[in-house]
Structure 1
Amino acid sequence: MRQIVSGLILLLAVTGMTASTASAEPDRSAVVAGAAGGERLITLTRWDSTRQWRRGERAGTAVRDGRLAFDQPVATASVGGRSYDVARWTSPWVEPGYAFTELIASWSTQTPKDSWVEVKVRGRHGSGDRTTWDTIARWTSGDRHLLRTTGSGQSDDGTTVAVDTWRASGLVGYQVRLSLGRRAGASYQPSLDLATAMASRLPSSAGPTSAAGPARGTVLQVPRYSQMVHSGHYPRWGGGGEAWCSPTSTSMVLGYYDRLPPPRRYRWVPDGHVDPWVDHAARMTYDHAYDGTGNWPFNTAYAAPLAGKAFVTRLRSVREAERFLAAGIPVVISLAFGPGQLDGAPISSSNGHLLVVVGVRDNGNVVVNDPAADTRRHVRRTYDRGQLERLWLEASGGLAYVITDPAHPLPEGPATNW
C-alpha cells in the first residue's frame, strides 16, 4: 500500500493573535499514513439503541429505553480528591475493514449533579496484539463539581492522544470503554443516549473539486452570530473573539433548530452581552486540559441534549455535505487557510477555524455562516467551492459536526460515515 505522508489538522489558539490571523482549535498536528489511491476511508460506528447497547459488555450498567445508565457500582475512583462510584460498558471489537490511522469518539450524555463519563479506547494490530487503554476524555455537562478534560499524550505502543483525536499506526480494530461515575453513595443515574467512534485513513490531498449535488440552490435560514463581538469576554474560558469560533458555530445550529439553552442557563452573563448563549456555550465546551473551546466532541456533547442528536464525523466532499443540506441539516466544518487562500473571508488566515455550511449557490459555490465576521450582519458569506473544499479536506480531513433535531433525521441511503 502506498504511504502518503501528510500533516493533517493544524491548530491551537495563540495568545496575542489579531483578528486577521485567528486560531481557535487545539494542536492536533501529526504525521499520518494516507489511503491507497487517494481513497478517503471513513467508518463511523454508533451505539444508540437498546439492541446496540446490549451488544457491549456491561459491568454495573443497564440498558433502559434505548439509553445506557448507571445501575450499580462495580469500582471506585478518586477524581479531584473526591471518591466516585463507577459502572462501565465496553464495546465489542470493531473492525472497519482497513488499517486506520485516526479515531475520534463522540457521545451524548446526561450527567446530573456530581457525575461524569470517561471515554477510553484501545486497539488491535493485524498480528492480534492489543494496545493499552488510552483515556480520551472525562466529560461532565457542568463545571460546578469537576472540570471536563482530555488526555493528550499517553504515547506508548504506537498510539497517542492529540486532544480529542486518537492516533495510531495502522491498527485494524478497536474497542471503546465508557465509564459512568457518580459521587460515592449517591443514587442519581448518569446515562448515555449515544456514543460513536469514527475511524479513518485519509490521503494528504483533496483531489478534484466535487460537482454540485442535491443542495444546489438551497440556503438554510441559519441565524447569524459573530464570535468577534465577544472579544475579551471571560478570559478563563478563552477570552472570546478569535478563540470562540466553535461554540459560536455550534450555537448557530442550535438557534436554527430553536434549541438554544433556556435563559436561566445563561443568566450569569451580564446584561448587555450580545448573544449571551454563546458565552454559555464557550463555558460549557471549554476543555480545561488544553485550555480552549475548540474540542470537537465537547461541542457535539454540549449540543446533543439540547438538539436531540449530535456527533463528530468526517465527510468526503462538499457534495457529501450537500446530502445534509438537502435534508435541512446545516453542518459545522473545520478548516485552515493562509493569506489569499480563501477569497472573501473576514480574516486573512487561520491555522484552525470552524464555520457553518448553510447552502449552495446555483453555480455550486458554498454559502456559509462564518463567525469570524466582525458583526452579525457580515456573517453570511459565499466561498469558492474548490477553495473551501480543499482547505477543509486537507486541514482537518473533512471534519464535521452533525447536529440534528427530531424533525430532521439523517439523510437516507448507504453511508459509512453517519
Structure 2
Amino acid sequence: MPPATPRRTVLAAALAAAAGTTAAAPASAETCADSEAEACAAPTDPGTGADTERGHAPAPRLVDNHFWSSYTDWRCGIAAGTRAVSGHRPGLVIDTPAGRTDYTDPHTGRTSTWEHASWTSPTHTSAVPATEVIASWNAHTPPGTWLQVELRGTYGDGTDTPWFVMGRWAAGDADIRRTSVDDQSDGKASIWTDTFSIDDAASGLRLLSYRLRLTLYREPGTTLTPTVWRLGAMASDVPDRFTVPASAPGLDHELTVPRYSQNIHLGQYPEYDNGGEAWCSPTSSQMIIEYWGRGPAAEDLAWVNPDFADPQVCHAARFTYDYQYAGCGNWPFNAAYAATYPDMNAVVTRLGSLTDLETLIRAGIPAITSQSFRKEELTGAGYGTSGHLMTVIGFTASGDVIANDPASPNNPAVRRVYRRREWENIWLRTKRYDANGKVRGGTGGVCYIFWPVKSAPSQHRALQALGLV
C-alpha cells in the first residue's frame, strides 16, 4: 500500500542560472582564539562530487554543504553563555546561562521557564548562491533540555533576512513537543517546514551567505545541558527540470541492510501521522541506524504494545514526529533522531546523480532518498506517491537501483530492484506532472546520510568527495 500522507513542504523550483551578482569574500570569524583565527575564517572546500575524485571535469556546482563540528569550529563565532568541549567528539554546551525565558508550547499550551545560552556561527558564504537552504544538527538533549536552530542570511541585493526558526527540537517529548514553525516569511523567502526557500527563484534573487544560531535551553537551577556535536546546512540552486541527464552505470554491489515494512504498522499509534501508512521516513531511518549496529534498548521500547512487530519502527515514528507538520517526514528531525544513537553523524543534503550514490555504496554507506512519482513512472512499485522515502542499498550489474522500499506489504518484500533511468529521474527532478496533469514539485535529489564517527578511510574519502566532511 502506498504512503498516504505526502510531504507538505513546498519546494521552490530554481533557474539554471544563478543571480547576476558576485558572492562576497568569506567573512572572518566574529570571535575566535588568536591562534585559531585563520582556521575559523578560512573557507572549507565543500567538495565537487565523485567525478573530481575520478579525475573528470566537475559538473556545474548545484549544492554547497557546510558544517561546524570541530573543537576549533565551536570556539569560533559568538558565544553567549556557551563553551566548547573537547574529546573524541567535540561539542558545544551551556557554560553560564545568559538569561531566562518563558516558552509556551503551542502543542500543549504549557508555559515553562528555561535558562538559555546561545552560539552564533561565523558567516558562511556559499559556493552556490542558493534558492534553498536546509539545516541539520546532531545533538544530545537529556530530559530537562532542548534546543532551537535559527538561520539568518544575506541576499544578492544586499539585504538581510530576519532570524528564521529552522526547528525547535528535543530527543524526547516530555519537556517540549519538537516542532517546525509555520508562517515565517520576509516577502522574499519563506520557511516551508524545514526548508528556507526563495519565493520567486525566477527573479534571480539568491541567498549568498548565512549564519546559524543555536540556543540551548535547560531547567532553571540545574547543571543539565544539551550537547551539540554537529551543525550545518545544505545550500542549493537546482534548476527547473522535468527530466535529468542519465548517468552511466559504474557499480555492481549490494549492502546488507535490515528490511522493515511501514505497512505492517497500519493503524498503530495514529497520533503519529495516522500510523504506519505514513511512516516511510522513520522506517527508512531505522533501517540504516540498525545497519550501523545501533538501535533502541529494550527499556526504550517498553512503551510499545508488545503485540506489535518491529517496535523500533514505532519508536522511530514517535521520536521523529513534528507536531506542527503533523508528520514524521521532517528531514532534519530524522537526521537528528539518527544522531541520538552512540557516535552517529547524520546530515540532510542533495546529491547530483546516481554516480554520487554509487560513491557512497562502494564505500559501504547506504542513503535515504526522497522522491515523488505516478504509478506508471516507476515500474514495479505498484503505487504512486506525492512524497516517499526509501533506502538505496546497492546497484545491479546493469546499473539498476536496489532499494529497501518500506511501502511494501511485509519485511521480505521490502527489497526491490527499480530501473535505473526511471528511478534517477523521479529522484533528481524538481518538476513533475501529477495524475491530473498538474505541475507539481520534486525534491531535486534530497537524501539523508548517516555514518559513524569512527568510519573507515574509504568511507571518509567518499563523504569528503561529496562535501559532507
TM-score by length of 2: 0.81
Q: Which residue of 1 aligns with 2:424?
A: 389
Contact 1:317 1:389 (8 Å CA) reproduced: yes
**Superposition pairs of residues 149-298 of structure 1, within 5 angstroms:** 149-168=179-198, 169-205=205-241, 206-213=243-250, 216-298=251-333
- 1:43 corresponding residue in structure 2: 64
How far off its partner does 1:127 sit? 3.8
- Deviation track 1:246-281 (CA, whole Å, cap 9, x = no partner) reads 000000001111201111111111112110000000
Aligned twin of 1:374? 409
Q: Distance in 1 between matches of 2:348 and 2:11?
A: 19
Larger fraction in strand: 1
2:40 aligns with none
Distance in 1 of aligned mates of 2:286 and 2:82: 32
Describe the SS at the equivalent of 1:33: coil
**AA of the residue aligned to 2:103:** V
Alpha-carbon contact 2:6-2:385 (below 8 Å) kept: no
Partner of 1:137: 167
User: 1:24·1:246 contact (CA, 8 Å) conserved in 2?
Assistant: no
Within 2, Cα distance between the matches of 1:262 and 1:290?
Answer: 28
Aligned to 2:345: 309
Once the 2 structures are TM-superposed, how far is the Cα of residue 208 of structure 1 from its aligned partner? 1.4
2:97 corresponding residue in structure 1: 73
Q: Match of 1:410? A: 460
- Aligned partners of 2:81 and 2:118 also within 8 Å: yes
Give the alignment partner of residue 344 of structure 1, picking from 347, 365, 380.
380
8 Å CA contact retained: 2:351, 2:446:
yes
Name the amino acid aligned to 2:100.
T
1:400 is displaced (CA, Å) by 0.8
2:357 to 318, 321, 325: 321
Residue 202 of structure 2: aligned partner: none
Aligned partner of residue 254 in structure 1, secondary structure: helix
Distance in 1 of aligned mates of 2:61 and 2:261: 33
* 1:300 maps to which of 329, 335, 346: 335
Comparing 63-72 with 275-284, greater Cα deviation is found at 63-72
**Deviations 1:270-326 (CA, angstroms, capped at 9, x unpaired):** 112110000000000000011100011100100012151111111001110111111
Alpha-carbon deviation of 1:35? Answer: 2.5
Deviates more, 1:198-207 or 1:24-33: 24-33
SS in 1 for 2:389: strand
Q: State which of 10, 14, 22 in structure 2 corresponds to 1:29.
A: 10
Q: Which residue number in structure 2 is paired with residue 119 of structure 1?
A: 149
1:399 aligns with 2:435: no
Q: Tell me how far apart the structure 1 counterparts of residues 119 and 209 of structure 2 sit (CA, whole Å).
A: 18
CA distance in 1: counterparts of 2:187 and 2:77, whole angstroms: 25
What stretches of structure 1 move > 3 A for 4+ residues in a row?
37-40, 407-418
Task: State the distance in 2 between where 1:245 and 1:53 align.
Answer: 34
- Identity %, equivalent residues: 38
SS at match of 1:281: helix
1:76 shift after superposition: 2.1
For structure 2, the 5+ residue unaligned runs are 19-58, 105-110, 199-204, 430-441
1:211 Cα shift? 1.1
Q: Give structure 1 stretches of 5+ with no counterpart.
A: 1-18
**One-letter identity of the residue aligned with 1:96:** S
Output the CA distance in 2 between the equivalents of 1:67 and 1:208: 41
Equivalent residue of 1:282, what SS? Answer: helix
User: Partner of 1:99: helix, strand, or coil?
Assistant: strand
Q: Aligned partners of 1:415 and 1:281: how far apart in 2?
A: 27
Q: CA deviation at 1:183?
A: 1.4
319-328 or 27-36: which moved more? 27-36
Figure out how many residues of one structure are paired with residues of the other and give that number: 396
CA separation in 1, counterparts of 2:292 and 2:152?
36
Is the Cα–Cα contact under 8 Å of residues 126 and 208 in structure 2 kept in the other structure?
A: yes
State the Cα deviation string for residues 168-226 of structure 1 (Å, max 9, x = none): 3411111111100111222111110111211000012242111122xx22100001000
1:4-59 deviations in Å (ceiling 9; x for gaps): xxxxxxxxxxxxxxx34x24443122433223399451001011110112222111
Task: State the structure with more CA Rg.
Answer: 2
Q: Provide the C-alpha distance between the structure 1 equivalents of 2:128 and 2:316, rounded to a whole number of angstroms.
A: 37
The 3-state SS of whatever aligns with 2:422 is helix
- How far apart, in 2, do the equivalents of 1:24 and 1:253 lie? 22
Contact 2:61–2:128 (Cα < 8 Å) also in 1: no
Separation of aligned partners in 1, 2:16 and 2:65? 17
- d(CA) in 2 for partners of 1:71 and 1:361? 52
Deviation at 1:125, TM superposition (A): 1.8
Q: Which amino acid aligns with 2:448?
A: Y
- Taking the aligned partners of 1:369 and 1:183, their CA distance within structure 2 comes to 41
Q: TM-score normalized by structure 1?
A: 0.91
CA distance in 2, matches of 1:165, 1:188: 30
Q: Distance in 1 between matches of 2:286 and 2:159?
A: 43
CA distance, structure 1, for counterparts of residue 317 and residue 161 of structure 2: 34
Name the SS of the counterpart of 2:335 in structure 1: helix
Hey, what's the Cα distance between the residues in 2 that align with 1:392 and 1:40?
Answer: 18
Of 68, 75, 94, which aligns to 1:54?
75
Distance 1:26 1:79 in 2: 28
